[in-house]
Amino acid sequence: MSGSENSAGAAHGAASLTNVRHVTVIGSGTMGSQIAMVSALAGFETALVDIAQDPLELAKDQLWKRVDRDVEKGRRDGGDVTAAKNRLTFTTDRDAAVASTDLVIEAAVEDLAVKRSLFTSLDAVAPERTVLVTNSSNIVSSRIADATGRPEKVCNMHFFNPALIMECVEVVPHPETSAETVDTVTALAEAFGKSVVRLRREIPGFVANRLLNAIRREALSLHDEGIADVEDIDRAARTALRHPMGPFELMDLVGIDVVYLIRMAEYEQTGDPGSLPAESVTRLYEKGKYGRKTGEGWYTYST
Ligand code: 3HC
């Protein structure tokens, strides 16, 4: 099987990755923490940055449990995991981490103003060579790049939850992103052991989330119109379509807050009321029921 223009398999050519040794990840939430662990496991010196010590300690605790379990279950080598732990630092000193880093992956809150101001600060401190990427799936990097003096070194590098497991990374340039930056980010994702989907040009949601959103939108409308219960819609996705989890289970995994903020970010970009979050999602969001991370979302969780 091959694509119409590209041959199948490693379609992107072998970009070499000689220029990235140190990676900094901003934001120690579900995505940022696992992305940082992926980076450390792949052999890169990695700093995970957050504004406070508590989320960093929580992230460290959760990551160590994950990888220790992998060792117990024989899925990873104990020596590799110990080495990766030693390569990963947890810090609130963003400027110190960024001052000598080669590539920054921003995985902070899905809020344009926050991202723009963050990128301005990163640009002021990072060495000239440093590439700045955002893990955002909905805020395209052209909306952030002009907050820096290096738009050619900015793009989206989008991971999937749980980042330690999911193979796909989308690499999305904006019109001014250089080919060198795209190659570096592609090569880094491949060095992380990921399978890269490269977009020719940016569009909010990229490829995978646009596919996912179509299913999610339909699931929410079936639920909100009272056609079927959450459990049954999820069961249909799992048992009729062999999806690993149903759309509601997946929203709880990704985070209702993330789902809500992604819709709001899209609405800001499109102005289309059809982009707004479903009412049921908004209700959960307003009640702080964010899914697995708060113990309740569409489902309730014991831990
Ligand atoms: N983090 C890391 N590893 C995890 C994990 C997590 N949150 N949850 C499960 N795993 C790993 C563990 O190794 C686990 O084995 P263990 O329990 O022995 O340690 C193994 O996966 C199997 O887990 P489970 O038996 O609990 O469940 P599953 O077999 O269903 O696997 C899953 C879990 C990998 C999450 C699978 O259900 C799945 O692939 N679900 C779909 C995920 C998906 O679609 N992600 C994309 C979301 S969209 C997105 O991220 C875009 C963004 O922009 C919002």
Q: Give 43-67 pLDDT, tens digit per residue.
A: 999 999 999 999 999 999 999 999 9
What is the rounded distance in angstroms from the CA atom of residue 248 to the CA atom of residue 157?
25
Write b or e for each residue in 285-299: b if 16 or more Cβ atoms lie within 10 A of its Cβ, otherwise e.
Answer: beeebbbbbbebbbb
Report the chain's terminal Cα–Cα distance, integer Å.
44
State the chain's mean pLDDT as an integer: 93
Sheet of strand 22-26: strand arrangement: 88-91, 45-49, 22-26, 103-106, 131-134, 154-159, 168-173, 195-198
Q: Give 103-144 pLDDT, tens digit per residue.
A: 999 999 888 999 999 999 999 999 999 999 999 988 999 999
Q: Give 278-288 pLDDT, tens digit per residue.
A: 999 999 999 99
Angular region, 51: left φ>0, alpha ψ -120 to 50, beta rest: alpha
Query: Across-strand partners of 169?
Result: 159, 196
pLDDT at 18 over 80: no
pLDDT recorded at residue 204: 87
Atom 21, ligand 1: residue with shortest CA distance? 165
What does pTM read for this prediction? 0.91
pLDDT at 4 over 50: no
Q: Which of 142, 209, 213, 275 is catalytic?
A: 209
Atom 28, ligand 1: residue with shortest CA distance? 244
Closest CA to 94 of 67, 132, 144: 132
Residues flanking ligand 1, CB < 6 Å: 66, 69, 73, 137, 160-162, 164-166, 209, 212, 244-245, 250, 254, 258
Asked: is 208-286 a CATH 3.20.20.100 domain? The reply is no
Tokens describing residue 217? 């939108």
Q: What are phi and psi of 49, to 5 degrees?
A: -115, 140
Tokens describing residue 43? 């052999």
Closest CA to 153 of 198, 107, 116, 184: 184
- Give me ligand 1 centre to Cα 295, in Å: 17
Tokens describing residue 225? 């119109």
The DSSP line for 158-222 is: EE-SSTTT--EEEEEE-TT--HHHHHHHHHHHHHTTPEEEE-SS--TTTTHHHHHHHHHHHHHHH
Q: Which of 106, 170, 249, 266 is catalytic?
A: 170
Average pLDDT rounded to a whole number, residues 270-291: 95
Tokens describing residue 184? 């570096």
pLDDT at 9 over 80: no
209 labelled catalytic: yes
Of the two residues 14 and 149, the one the predictor is more confident about is: 149
What is the residue whose two structure tokens read 């992998």? Answer: 70
pLDDT recorded at residue 7: 41
CATH code given to domain 3-198: 3.40.50.720
The DSSP line for 85-151 is: HHHEEEES-HHHHHHT-SEEEE---S-HHHHHHHHHHHHHHS-TT-EEEE--SSS-THHHHTTSS-G
137 labelled catalytic: yes
What is the rounded distance in angstroms from the CA atom of residue 239 to the CA atom of residue 132?
41
Using pLDDT thresholds of 50, 70 and 90, give the confidence band for residue 257: very high
Most ligand 1 atoms within 8 A of CB, residue of 37, 69, 72, 161 to mutate: 161
Rounded (10°) angle between helices 247-254 and 230-240: 100
Closest CA to 25 of 96, 105, 91: 105
- Give me ligand 1 centre to Cα 156, in Å: 23
Using pLDDT thresholds of 50, 70 and 90, give the confidence band for residue 12: low
Write b or e for each residue in 209-219: b if 16 or more Cβ atoms lie within 10 A of its Cβ, otherwise e.
Answer: beebbebbeeb
pLDDT at 249 over 50: yes
Q: Where are the domains of the chain?
A: 3-198, 208-286
In the chain, the percentage of residues whose pLDDT exceeds 70 is 94
What is the residue whose two structure tokens read 């809500």? Answer: 260
Tokens describing residue 57? 């300690």
Atom of ligand 1 nearest to the CA of 73: 18
Report the amino acid identity of residue 205: G
Atom 5, ligand 1: residue with shortest CA distance? 162
pLDDT at 169 over 90: yes
